[in-house]
Chains A and B, each alone.
Chain A
Amino acid sequence: GQSLEQPSEVTAVEGAIVQINCTYQTSGFYGLSWYQQHDGGAPTFLSYNALDGLEETGRFSSFLSRSDSYGYLLLQELQMKDSASYFCAVPLRGTARQLTFGSGTQLTVLP
């Protein structure tokens, strides 16, 4: 079957660094995406890794290891506004390879 696992909650303080892990099991793998969703808001795209390694975009970085079926989102210099849910997502193998989301990690940033 297909599954993505990520921690349900993470708490950190402003200015800190936090890593949100995602492990996946899929019958075919095309890449790992990350989305952020604030309470009451829409999911917004953060990053997509198709190849192994680290992709950096400002304070956020995303890492993928295809051999370990594992990726993570790294958030640096945490700010209060980073408090949100973070979802990893993969395109499923099939006729259209649609996105399926992990269960989400609720990040709380404390002052």
Chain B
Amino acid sequence: DTEVTQTPKHLVMGMTNKKSLKCEQHMGHRAMYWYKQKAKKPPELMFVYSYEKLSINESVPSRFSPECPNSSLLNLHLHALQPEDSALYLCASSQDGTGLNEQFFGPGTRLTVL
């Protein structure tokens, strides 16, 4: 199984809502990532979990809260988002967190904040 799955595919939320994005992989990868991607732009790294520990937090606002319950699962909890947070949120995984290995991306969650 070389697939990264993400749910939901689409999410529309108001600025006062709380929601969560979910990501799962069963490739035995020990690093998992959250990226944010705006239209016509490259993916921007938000968080990295390496061996289930948060190793990188790229100065992301606290309204985004990551969680890694186990080595196969990654969540991104959303609270009090702003309209400018509307974007495609991509989850990825790789063998380790060195950045030297291929990253496998999920299909993304397209988030719209009203």
A74-111 toward B: CB 8 Å interface, digit per residue (1/0)? 00000000000001000110011111111110100000
- Are the C-beta atoms of B55 and A99 separated by less than 8 Å? no
Contacting A at CB under 8 A, from B57-111, are: 90, 97-100, 102-108
Most buried by A among B48, B90, B99, B108: B99
Interface of B is mostly: loop
Q: Which residue of A lies closest to B99 (CB)?
A: A91
Known contacts A42-B108, A103-B41, A96 near B102 by CB under 8 Å: no
Contact status B42-A101, CB under 8 Å: yes
Chain A proximity mask over B10-43: 1 for CB below 8 Å, otherwise 0: 0000000000000000000000010000001111
Interface extent on B, as a size class? 20 to 34
Does any Cβ of A come within 8 Å of B114's Cβ? no
Q: How far is the CB of B43 from chain A (nearest CB, A)?
A: 6
Q: Is the beta-carbon distance between A31 and B104 smaller than 8 angstroms? A: no
Q: How far is the CB of B48 from chain A (nearest CB, A)?
A: 6
A60 at the interface (CB under 8 A from B): no
Contact A42 B90 (CB under 8 A): yes
- Give the interface size bracket for A toward B: 20 to 34
Other A-B pairs beyond A100-B45, A106-B40, 6, CB < 8 Å? A30-B99, A33-B102, A42-B105, A42-B106, A96-B98, A104-B42
User: What would 20 A/B residue contacts be, using CB atoms closer than 8 Å?
Assistant: A33-B102, A42-B90, A42-B105, A42-B106, A42-B108, A45-B102, A48-B100, A48-B102, A50-B100, A91-B100, A96-B50, A96-B97, A96-B98, A97-B100, A98-B48, A99-B99, A102-B42, A103-B41, A104-B40, A104-B42
Q: Give me the interface of B with A, judged by CB distance under 8 Å.
A: 33, 40-43, 45, 48, 50, 55-56, 90, 97-100, 102-108
